Amino acid sequence: MNARFIENCHFPMIFEKKEGTKGSFYQSGGKGGILPKRISWGIFAQRKPSSQDSMKKNEINAQYKRTESGLYAGLNQGRIHSSIWGFPAFPEFYGYGILDERHGIFDLLIIYSENQCLQSMEIHLFKGMGKPELLESAFIHLRNFQKNKKPQ
């Protein structure tokens, strides 16, 4: 897929952990008005002994506030959820999730963090690219994006 096309589908966001909390991250930079300003990071639900669940690396849960607007505010009463899975071919990234297959939307979230998501993380949203055939293109684009970003 054309790099320029992917660039137009790409929305980077930066989240930082609120001190004193277990997994509460607040948006501190990047494109606003997409995800809720606060997201919950961590698997708090009971895990099933299925092999699929054991491969899950993490979860994002969030809810838009009543006054907040965002890309997914109209879905599922403003509640969003995505499981985060690893992608071994691109080990520099923490993992990826898809928002939200249940509603027929396939927006890809790729998580990047230099501290294993303990203090901060970058969430890179790729609109409509959460399909198996497009995953690799998105990761390649993001790898180049990170390479070009570093010298600044």
Partner 1 sequence: MNLDYIEIAKFTGKDKPNFHNLEREAVYPNAERFSFQGCNKIEVWNYPEINQIKIKGSIPYFINGHNYFSSLNDWKEGLDYIQGSLGLNLYSGWIECFEFGTIQEIPFPPASFLQNHIKISGMEAKEFRKGNILTGKEFLSPSIRLKIYDAGRNFKNKLDKGIQEEISRLYGWEREKHYIKIESHYRKPEAHFRGNVYLASLLSEEFQRQLQINLLNQYQRIMKTGKAIIPERKADINAGTLPLIILKELEGIHNFKTEELLKALLKEIPEGILSPADKKARQRILKENLKKIRTSGESEFDISNLIKAKINEAEKSSTPFLWEGKGEEILSP
What are the φ and ψ backbone dihedral angles of 92, each rounded to 5 degrees? -70, -15
Q: Give the nearest distance from C-beta 116 to partner 1 in angstroms.
A: 31
Q: Map residues 9-48 to x or -, x wherever contact with partner 1 holds by CB under 8 A.
A: x---------------------------------------
Return the structure tokens found at 59: 């979860």
Check binding of 102 to partner 1 (CB under 8 A).
no
Check binding of 131 to partner 1 (CB under 8 A).
yes
Residue nearer to partner 1 on the CB measure, 26 or 145: 145
Question: Which stretch in 20-28, 89-97, 98-106, 141-149 sits in contact with partner 1 by CB under 8 A?
Answer: 98-106
Residue nearer to partner 1 on the CB measure, 8 or 28: 8
Half-sphere exposure of 15 (CA within 13 A, CB side): 28
Check binding of 138 to partner 1 (CB under 8 A).
no
Three-class DSSP labels, the chain: CCHHHHHHHEEEEEEEECCCCCCEEEEEEECCCCCCCEEEECCCCCCCCCHHHHHEEEEEEEECCCCCCCCCCCCHHHEEEEEEECCCCCCCCCEEEEECHHHCCCEEEEEECCCCCCCEEEEEEECCCCCHHHHHHHHHHHHHHHHHHCCC
Q: Give the nearest distance from C-beta 16 to partner 1 in angstroms.
A: 28
Considering only residues 64 to 83 of the shown chain, the ones binding partner 1 according to CB under 8 A are 74-75
Check binding of 119 to partner 1 (CB under 8 A).
no
**Rule CB under 8 A: which residues touch partner 1?**
1-2, 4-5, 8-9, 74-75, 103-107, 127-128, 131, 134
